[in-house]
Amino acid sequence: MKKGFGKGFLAGILCCVMLFVIVSCGKGNENESRLTKKQTTPTPVTVQEGTPTPTPTPASSLSDVEYAGKLKQISEILDKYYYQPIDYNNIVDGIYHGMVSAVGDPYTVYYNAQEMETFLQSSAGSYAGLGASVRIGDSKYPVLTRVFPGSPAEKAGLLAEDTVIEVDGEDVYNVPLDIVVTKVRGPIGSHLELTVYREGEPEYLHFDVIRDTVELPTVEHQMLANQIGYISVLEFDEVTAQQFNDAVDDLTRQNMRALIVDLRSNPGGSLSTVKSMLSRILPKGKLLVYMEDKYGQKEEHFSNTDETVDVPIAVLMNGNSASASEVFGGCLQDYGKAILVGTQSFGKGIVQTILPLGDGSGIKVTISSYFTPNGRNIHKKGLTPDVEVELKDELKKLTTIPIEDDNQIQKAIEELKKKI
């Protein structure tokens, strides 16, 4: 490995240019012991008697000489002793991934060029892959939170709350969520092999999923009885703001008297999108959200349109509603503009930005905490609903729940009818 690697690597990071700010999520509550990563018995290391035990020097920063020298030493050992040929492109890629992962934040992630391209495609709202929302469970394996109707996932027989153990034969224990997503996506028509744990099944299940283009139906709307509008928002992608605004306009033309915004299992997305959506509801000049970095510097965002929605609003949330969903719900709750109905939200109150490294790769890095207008930071806490109601157990794994059977929607309707 080249001696100047450390210096060049640091220079690459320092030369990053910010592209855009995003809000994302990851979480879980699956704690089955069988999903715990298998432990292997370590091979004993023989130490010559009298050999002093080395004491690591605490590192406050990376030193070109010391750390580049150690990388060179490791490279030489591998070259000499490892029993098979070594692909140093993979080694270097692993160094980048490992360095970023070692900060201990699951939302701070390194992307190689291929992963970066896939990530940027997914944020645009169209991709070729599985057709499901995913979070990381307490078991540190990915868990499907929603399977989209008509998606490759549904056609293959996958269900919400399935836990993914392997992707194409590769164990995905403790793999960052964004990296799991890039592994799932691929060319249209290609096959994806998934090994899945499903509660109640004695053995792991195996699925062959045929990848296809997935056009995320980020916004769906309809008018319910009593002139109550209903808008479901699945993710906050680039296309979502215009779809949401169009839905509000359509329901307004139909003389909407109240509105339900369904953010259940919405993992988040673009901050600019949620700002645009809130601007459609709240008067111009209202503080929507603010961020604060480690230096105490604040960045405030305000409503920037003259349009408003002057009807009672209920926002549906659950434990998989995260990040941008919580910006939306928390803002409206602070102003008394909406009631929150459902269960405690996930609790992700930190903001990431994408920094390109100039060679197609990049880093998504957490840069600040965000706060609701009243100064609430809900990170690892979540939003508490004004009206708490748990979805019936028999409905939780269904791909589609009829509105008349959905007890959380029916509770929201009941609360809104008191206000109209």
* 318 plus 248 within the same structural domain: yes
Contact 320, 145 (CB under 8 A): yes
Domain count of the fold of the chain = 2
Q: Is residue 380 among the annotated active site residues? A: no
Most confident of the following: 33-47, 91-105, 220-234: 220-234
* 224 plus 199 within the same structural domain: no
State pTM to two decimals.
0.68
The encoded tokens of residue 393 equal 């157990």
Q: What is the mean pLDDT of residues 48-66?
A: 49
Residue 406 lies in a domain: yes
- Residue 63 half-sphere exposure toward CB, CA atoms < 13 A: 9
Structural domain span for residue 133: 113-215
At 119 the pLDDT is: 75
142 or 137, higher pLDDT = 142
Q: Is residue 334 among the annotated active site residues? A: yes
* 205 plus 261 within the same structural domain: no
Q: Which of 27, 337, 348, 364 is catalytic?
A: 348
For the ranges 87-91, 124-128, 314-318, 379-383, which has the lowest average pLDDT?
124-128
At 11 the pLDDT is: 35
Last residue of a domain, one of 150, 185, 215: 215
- Dist CA 183 CA 165 (whole Å): 13
Q: Is residue 79 among the annotated active site residues? A: no
Residue 75 lies in a domain: no
* 210 plus 229 within the same structural domain: no
* 246 plus 205 within the same structural domain: no
* 172 plus 257 within the same structural domain: no
* 183 plus 325 within the same structural domain: no
Q: What is the mean pLDDT of residues 123-139?
A: 76
Contact 231, 243 (CB under 8 A): no
Q: Which CATH number characterizes residue 191's domain?
A: 2.30.42.10
175 or 119, higher pLDDT = 175
Last residue of a domain, one of 191, 215, 239: 215
Report the candidate in 259, 331, 231 with the shortest Cα–Cα distance to residue 23: 331
Q: Which CATH number characterizes residue 372's domain?
A: 3.90.226.10
Q: Which of 212, 262, 334, 406 is catalytic?
A: 334
Task: Calculate what percentage of the chain has a pLDDT beyond 90.
Answer: 55
- Dist CA 261 CA 218 (whole Å): 12
Residue 148 lies in a domain: yes
